[in-house]
Structure 1
């Protein structure tokens, strides 16, 4: 059986790169699984990307708006308030707690501010 080239060779290259990196660091399998679990969700990756881009505290509503922009590829003026609200709710109830629990972000609920702790 002859292997045919896979159309997503970028994915293969990325996986091989990650595996090579894992070979050179001393990280437990549990830690690797937890890290990949955190990065498995696109919205969570976009949220982390937003926080890295800003590099300082921003309000969760502003973060939700920016995540919605990146998810849709549209200007914020072309995104419905319902869409941004849905992103906010998912960040607040799902993604933010996970990232706070592992120490990547901090959250001041009283001021609705998110701080990039380990992203700097």
Structure 2
């Protein structure tokens, strides 16, 4: 018999609760697929986590720093500026537009501010 770690149990428990919730609620397959696609990327999940943590608007550079910190586990002073720039650019060009289109975040391009919407 194979034993499971605590994190494996957490995943199993989460999936079971999710499946129970889906049985009770009328969620379309398309909506579920779209939600999983949005959450499939770690950087998008981290950006959502950052916005939930702060619960207020942040500049995109500040949000990128926070995402880089969570990705690397280092303080911002120990992360190369190029890494933070790469995170910023990927958020700006790829991840942020997807989350804005989904209605999870708002973005003011003129002021370069990200704000929580539905989170």
With normalisation by structure 1, the TM-score equals: 0.91
Residue 9 (structure 2) aligns with: 9
Residue 113 (structure 1) aligns with: 113
Question: Which range moves more in the overlay, 12-21 or 103-112?
Answer: 12-21
| Cα displacement string for residues 48-101 of structure 1 (whole angstroms, at most 9, x for unaligned residues) | 000111111110000000000001111111111011001001100110000011
Question: Which range moves more in the overlay, 10-19 or 61-70?
Answer: 10-19
Residue 22 (structure 1) aligns with: 22
Residue 42 (structure 2) aligns with: 42
Shift of 1:5: 4.5
In structure 2, C-alpha distance between the alignment counterparts of 1:102 and 1:61, rounded to whole Å: 21
Residue 90 (structure 2) aligns with: 90
Question: Which range moves more in the overlay, 21-30 or 42-51?
Answer: 21-30
In structure 2, C-alpha distance between the alignment counterparts of 1:21 and 1:32, rounded to whole Å: 12
Please report the RMSD computed on the Cα atoms of aligned residues, expressed in angstroms. Answer: 1.3
In structure 2, C-alpha distance between the alignment counterparts of 1:57 and 1:19, rounded to whole Å: 33
Shift of 1:10: 3.0
With normalisation by structure 2, the TM-score equals: 0.91
| Cα displacement string for residues 7-58 of structure 1 (whole angstroms, at most 9, x for unaligned residues) | 5333222211211121121111110111111111111000000011111111
Structure 1 unaligned spans of 5+: none
After the TM superposition, which residues 53-92 of structure 1 pair with which residues of structure 2 at under 5 Å, given as runs?
53-92=53-92
Structure 2 unaligned spans of 5+: none
